[in-house]
Amino acid sequence: MNLQSGTYYWPTTFPDAPTYPLLAEDLSCDVLIIGGGSSGAQCAYYLADADLDVIVIEKTTIGSGSTSTNTALIQYSGEKMFTDLINTFGENYIKRHLQLLQEAINEMETASKNVTIDCEFIRRDTLYSASCAEDVESLKKEYEFLKQHHCELAFLTKEDIEAKYPFSRDAAIYSYNDAEINPFRFTHALLDYAAKKGIRVYENTEMNGHFYDKQKGMMTVSTKNGCSIQARYIIFAAGYEGMEIKKEKKASFVSTYTVTTNPVKDLSKWYNRTLIWETARPYLFMRTTRDNRIIIGGLDDNTTYPEDRDSKLIHKKNKLIEEFNNMFPTIKVQPEYYLAAFYGGTVDGIPIIGKYEEYPNSYFLFAFGDNGTVYSQLLSKLIVKEIVEGNCPDLALYLQERPLLNKR
Ligand SMILES: Cc1cc2nc3c(=O)[nH]c(=O)nc-3n(C[C@H](O)[C@H](O)[C@H](O)COP(=O)(O)OP(=O)(O)OC[C@H]3O[C@@H](n4cnc5c(N)ncnc54)[C@H](O)[C@@H]3O)c2cc1C
């Protein structure tokens, strides 16, 4: 899959990132993780302390897939409001989903403290604003649901917003304690942690086939360079490219665009350096980075053809800068890195753990959606719990055929 094109900021923040060898022999293990992006790294992190023999293979280099284009706003609120998700899944289901998302963000914070590579994890508040007057009512309903479920937040009026920011909106949810991270450093940090605990990591090692030995109860994976790995369990953490291994009908793709600016001297007009997004679909979103750059993203386009996606990059870059200038006219920015990328979501707004008959003892981690990194943290934990303990009731919430448990 031609995932993305353009120039990428995150890898420049870690030029001396660890490297790993190419697989050059046949191996066997308890758990094989396919993919060395943030999802594979999150699985490896959870498996690092289990008494299991684990291998990670990555077809190119660590963190070079969607992980290097991720804007890494770390939030529990996603593209579909929780109040909308309740209509599909029921209140108990969505209450549990919300709890698991909040736990996942806490676990990312804990993980970032357990590792030795700095992942630039910082707690940030979020401004989630109404893009138009018609959206105020649904935003208010969402606020009331979240408040009722003990989320720390406030509802801002137009006057409150104008007092804090140089732009105006009719209303907003201001939520405390979301976060931002450097996804490239985070991925490396988790794999470095896992490798130091004995997990074997191989780069430039691409899976190109598999078969199941019923008698042994083992999956065997072949690699493009002629090696094989036998495993009791496989976690397919190949990101959007996982769809090339197993198509999942609930997934869908669009093209999206981001710009990372030059470092800015004065961010004092940006209240608390909040993460910013809005109710419009598609929406604009922005954050700052540790070295005072601004990342602006959005202007999604329905095309799934790489040439078409890429032909719009310059126009979208200019438009993103223009949108930013409208909101923060006194912050002068220049685009330094800009990219076009495919971005995957699910039709019902909930990420997927795929378990398929033709892939025995295997889990497909389809953490698709705007909070992909948080979803991956959540799903990795559930998959690892099921592998290690043999049972994880919460995993059923995310299976591709979601049983609409507790719907009422
Ligand atoms: C522009 C953009 C902005 C985003 N912003 C946010 C955000 O603000 N917040 C958020 O939470 N999420 C965001 N996301 C989503 C987030 O980027 C993804 O959820 C996350 O990066 C997925 O990581 P991954 O490891 O699953 O995928 P990837 O990073 O793509 O990693 C998968 C890896 O698997 C490897 N691979 C594939 N096939 C094989 C094979 N056959 N053999 C071996 N290796 C293989 C690939 O080379 C790749 O390195 C954004 C996504 C995009 C595109």
131 C-alpha to ligand 1 centroid (Å): 28
Mean per-residue pLDDT pooled into runs of 10, the chain (408 residues):
96 98 98 98 98 98 98 96 95 96 98 98 98 97 96 98 98 97 98 98 97 91 97 97 94 97 97 98 96 97 96 98 98 97 95 95 96 98 98 96 62
What are the Cα distances from residue 246, in Å, to 4, 19, 32, 242, 355?
A: 20, 28, 17, 6, 10
Distance (Å) from CA 199 to ligand 1 centroid:
21
How many whole angstroms from 264 Cα to the centroid of ligand 1?
28
3-class SS letters over 88-113: HHCHHHHHHHHHHHHHHHHHHHHHHH
The answer to whether the CB of 153 falls within 8 A of the CB of 176 is yes
CA quadruple 215, 43, 343, 278: dihedral sign: positive
Which atom of ligand 1 lies nearest, measured to the CA of 73? 8
For residue 35 and ligand 1, the question of a CB distance below 6 A is answered with: yes
* C-alpha 244 – ligand 1 centre gap (Å): 14
Testing ligand 1's pocket by substitution, the residue of 20, 71, 301, 362 carrying the most ligand atoms inside 8 A of its CB is: 71
| Cα 340 to ligand 1 centroid, rounded to whole Å | 14
Confirm or reject: Cβ of 238 under 6 Å from ligand 1. yes
pLDDT at 407: 53
| DSSP code for 270 | S
Do the Cβ atoms of 287 and 73 come closer than 8 Å?
A: yes
Is the Cβ atom of 298 under 6 angstroms away from ligand 1? no
Q: Is 381 exposed, middle or buried (0-12, 13-18, 19+ CB in 10 A)?
A: buried
Residue ID of nearest Cα to ligand 1 atom 33: 35
Q: What is the CATH number of domain 4-13+20-69+184-249+349-398?
A: 3.50.50.60
Distance 106 CA to ligand 1 centre (A): 21
Domain ranges of the chain: 4-13+20-69+184-249+349-398
Would you say the CB of residue 341 lies under 6 angstroms from ligand 1? yes
399 Cα to the center of ligand 1, angstroms: 20
Q: To test the ligand 1 pocket, which listed residue (241, 289, 378) has its Cβ within 8 A of the most ligand atoms?
A: 241
Ligand 1 and 36: CB distance under 6 A: yes
Angle at 375 between CA 195 and CA 173, to 5 degrees: 130
Instruction: Select from 15, 110, 92, 11 the least CA-distant residue to 393.
Output: 92
48 lines ligand 1 (CB under 6 A): no
Q: What is the dihedral of CA 300, 302, 306, 312, to 10 degrees?
A: -50
Q: What's the pLDDT score for residue 408?
A: 47
- Please work out whether the CB of residue 136 comes within 6 Å of at least one atom of ligand 1: no
Residue 120: the pLDDT is: 98
Question: CA angle at residue 281 from 280 to 286, to 5 degrees?
Answer: 70
The residues, any chain, with a CB within 8 Å of residue 62's CB and separated by 6 or more, are: 17, 18, 20, 36, 37, 41, 187, 188, 191, 201, 203
Q: Which of 149, 144, 148, 142 is nearest to 102 (CA)?
A: 149
| Nearest in space to 40 (alpha carbons), one of 405, 385, 394, 376 | 376
Ligand 1 touching residue 78 (CB < 6 A):
no
Rounded CA-CA distance 325/389 in Å is 52
The sign of the CA dihedral 23, 28, 30, 32 is: positive
Alpha-helical (H) ranges within 21-90 are 38-47, 82-89
Which residues are bridge partners to 383 per DSSP?
none
pTM: 0.97
Q: What is the DSSP string of 206-268?
A: -EEEEEEETTTTEEEEEETTS-EEEEEEEEE--GGGHHHHS--TTEEEEEEEEEEE---S--T
69 lines ligand 1 (CB under 6 A): yes
Please, how many CA atoms are within 13 Å of residue 257, restricted to the half-sphere of its CB? Answer: 25
Check pocket membership of 346 for ligand 1, CB cut-off 6 A.
Answer: no
Q: How far apart are the CA of 126 and the centre of ligand 1, in A?
A: 23
